[in-house]
Every structure is written in C-alpha cells, then in structure tokens.
Amino acid sequence: AQSVSQHNHHVILSEAASLELGCNYSYGGTVNLFWYVQYPGQHLQLLLKYFSGDPLVKGIKGFEAEFIKSKFSFNLRKPSVQWSDTAEYFCAVNFMEYGNKLVFGAGTILRVKS
Amino acid sequence: GAVVSQHPSRVICKSGTSVKIECRSLDFQATTMFWYRQFPKQSLMLMATSNEGSKATYEQGVEKDKFLINHASLTLSTLTVTSAHPEDSSFYICSARDPSGSTEQYFGPGTRLTVT
C-alpha cells in the first residue's frame, strides 16, 4: 500500500534556527508532492508543490523543498524560522497510478520559541 | 485563490441521530471533492472521493451506508453521518480538486462533530 512517512512528530526550535522536516514515500512510480501547513485553529494551506521539472521547489513564506527521486524523499526546509511558523506541517503525496487522491503523512508539529 | 467552506464548523448531536455537513466551493466549480477524517494528534485519513453527478468512491473500511455522500452540484458536496455513535466524534475535513485538473486540493476549515 502507498504510504507517506514523516519522521519527526514534534520539533522545537529557537527563532532563526534552520528547519528541515523529513518526508519519505513508499512507491517508485510517478508522484505529485505537496507540503501543507495548518496553523492553530486554521485550515490546511498549501506551502508548496512539486509536479515535474526542477526538483528544488520554492514555496510561500521562505519555505522550500527538494525532491530526491532516488531516495523517495521530499524534505521541507527553511533557513531561518520565525515564531509565526509554529504550526503543524503535513507532507502529502498523490500516487498518480492510483488516481487523484492524496495520502498524508502523520504530520510534524513545529514549535518555535521566541 | 480557491476557497472552500464547510458548515457547520461545530456540531453536537445525540447518539442515534443523523447529522449533515456541507462543503462548498465558493469561487470555482469542483467536479471532485474529497472527505477526510482527522483524529486527535493524527493525520488526515481519506474517507471517500465525491464526484459530481455520480456515486462516491469510498476507501476501504469506510461504511458507505453510515457516511452518505451526495455531490448534487458543482459547488456542493454533503456528508451525512447516519445513526451517529460517540466513536464517530471527530474532525471532518472536505477538500475540492483544483479546477484546472491538477491533483492539488483546496481544503475547507473542517467540522468538529461531537456525539453524546
């Protein structure tokens, strides 16, 4: 079965620290990749997405992610986090051979200390 | 950007009753919508895919007679939890597929269901 793994469930960082959240998926076929963010009390918002082309994707709010096909990974990065980045982050994958649905990782709760 | 709304945001119902949750795409037409369930401190689990004008496709383990989905128009999908039980208490989230045809989805704010 298709699956998505996020390795860190809780991450605590100080402001200005660098962030990297891991995301791996289980399948070697064609995929579309997404990172969503859920701020406290708010709905899921898209941070960035990868469909094809340059494997380094830049998203909103200074986030970026790199698709490494050989590692089945799509890690999220930000060079310097802010207190306002405190939120839960979800990696989601569309395994294209299995239709239009998204499979979500378990999520990573990020807390940034000011 | 594309906006998806849900109503109600919170609902409390008694065990054995039914409750309907609405999902609307506000500024675009959505031929495909999705219904997810999110348990506390867990990820989103897809329940079903809702296609306008046809029957919903349910994920394995989801009871279609308990979770009735109707997608009667291009801007509205409804999820009805029938004969609700306390274990149905959860956060239900809908999304709509990008109208351009990509696999991106736009998410609603969710509905917190509590069954007493």
Contact status of B9 with chain A (Cβ, < 8 Å):
no
Spell out which residues of chain A touch residue B110, defining contact as CB-CB under 8 Å: 43
CA distance A25 to chain B (A): 15
Q: How far apart are CA A47 and CA B80, in angstroms?
A: 31
User: Tell me: the pLDDT tens digits for A37-62?
Assistant: 999 888 899 999 999 999 999 999 99
DSSP-assigned beta bridge partners for residue A88? A38, A109
Q: How far apart are CA A104 and CA A107, in angstroms?
A: 8
Helix segments in B1-116, DSSP class H: none
Query: For residue B3, which of B85, B113, B94 has the smallest C-alpha distance?
Result: B94
Q: How far apart are CA B112 and CA B89, in angstroms?
A: 8
Q: Collect all residues with Cβ–Cβ distance below 8 Å to A34 and sequence separation of at least 6.
A: A46, A47, A48, A49, A50, A91, A92, A93, A94, A102, B104
pLDDT given for residue B90 in this prediction: 95
Q: Which of A9, A32, A37, A100 to mutate to test the interface with B (most CBs of B within 10 A)?
A: A100
Residue B48 token pair: 């079903």
User: Tell me: the pLDDT tens digits for B86-113?
Assistant: 999 999 999 999 888 888 999 999 999 9
Q: Is residue B3 a contact partner of residue B109, using CB atoms and an 8 Å limit? A: no
pLDDT tens for chain A, residues 1 to 114 = 789 999 889 999 999 999 999 999 998 789 999 999 999 888 899 999 999 999 999 999 999 999 999 999 999 999 999 999 999 999 999 998 888 889 999 999 999 998
Helix (H, G, I), strand (E, B), or coil: what is residue A87? strand
Radius of gyration of chain A (CA): 14
DSSP-assigned beta bridge partners for residue B112? B10, B91
pLDDT tens for chain B, residues 1 to 116 = 789 999 999 999 999 999 999 999 999 999 999 999 998 777 899 999 999 888 999 999 999 999 999 998 999 999 999 999 999 999 999 999 988 888 899 999 999 999 99
Q: How far apart are CA A32 and CA B105, in angstroms?
A: 12
Query: Which residue from B minimizes the CA distance to A90?
Result: B43
